[in-house]
Amino acid sequence: MKVAVVKYNAGNIFSVVHALQRMGVEPLLTDSPRELFSADRVIFPGQGEASNAMHYLRQRGLDQVIVSLRQPVLGICIGQQLLCRHSEEGDVDCLGVFDADVKRFVPLRHEDKIPHMGWNTLTPALSNAEEATSAPFPPLLKGLGKAPFVYFVHSYYVPVCKDTAAVTEYIHPFSSAMHKDNFYATQFHPEKSGAVGQQILHNFLTIDTSIR
């Protein structure tokens, strides 16, 4: 399987490369459209500032490449945010795959520290709270047990919307995982989330592309 990791001006890209290597996968770190289009899986990771990242992607035409991908794509952290319509960070229009706008966290109490940093839990996204406690997670998040903990570092968030796949509570509920067509995304860092994170990366690599 050919796994490509999008190379751009975001930090912490190597941590996802290391995580894949620990799973025995040697990913290709690339910004070549040809390589990205021909990969079986594309990971769009990173940590950074949204408007700088978008500017960089547009200059190189990578914005058009990413939205045209047809294989499973996984956005991580700022990757998830850039797949949305717009971000408050630098007031920038983003890739528009997910039908949502990225907002900055606003603390309500003294305890609400920003960035939201550390381990927090995932709940399947469903409007009915009773259903949510018994509902299964979507394919990307299967096999994790109930209310798994994953690692977050972020100051901006995606509100809960129709593309939300999992919800996490910090100050208020937000989208901690998303899914639309062949696009998957996590606000947390699976590559830094221990065994749970590794399971999520494994799920992504083994998603059944025939039934989506």
> Quick one: which of 149, 161, 202, 205 contacts other proteins (CB under 8 A)?
149
> Quick one: which of 47, 52, 71, 182 contacts other proteins (CB under 8 A)?
47
Please calculate the CA angle 205-206-208 and round it to the nearest 5 degrees.
Answer: 125
Q: Show contacts with other proteins in window 84-113 (CB under 8 A).
A: 107, 110, 113
Selection from 101, 80, 161 nearest residue 127 by Cα:
161
Selection from 63, 125, 65 nearest residue 92 by Cα:
63
Taking the C-alpha atoms of residue 44 and residue 80, their distance in angstroms, rounded to an integer, is 8
Any contact of residue 9 with other proteins (CB under 8 A)? no
> Quick one: which of 4, 6, 94, 116 contacts other proteins (CB under 8 A)?
116
What Å distances lie between residue 141 and 46, 67, 80, 136, 210, CA to CA? 20, 23, 15, 9, 18
Selection from 113, 116, 91 nearest residue 102 by Cα:
91
> Quick one: which of 197, 199, 203, 207 contacts other proteins (CB under 8 A)?
197
Selection from 81, 152, 100 nearest residue 121 by Cα:
152
> Quick one: which of 123, 176, 193, 199 contacts other proteins (CB under 8 A)?
193
* Comparison of 20 and 97: residue with beta carbon closer to other proteins: 20
Any contact of residue 170 with other proteins (CB under 8 A)? yes
Least Å distance, CB 111 to other proteins, is 9
End-to-end CA distance of the chain: 19
Provide the binding-site residues for other proteins, judged by CB under 8 A: 11-12, 14-15, 18-19, 21-22, 47, 107, 110, 113-121, 149, 151, 153, 169-170, 191-195, 197-198
Which residues belong to the active site? 77, 189, 191
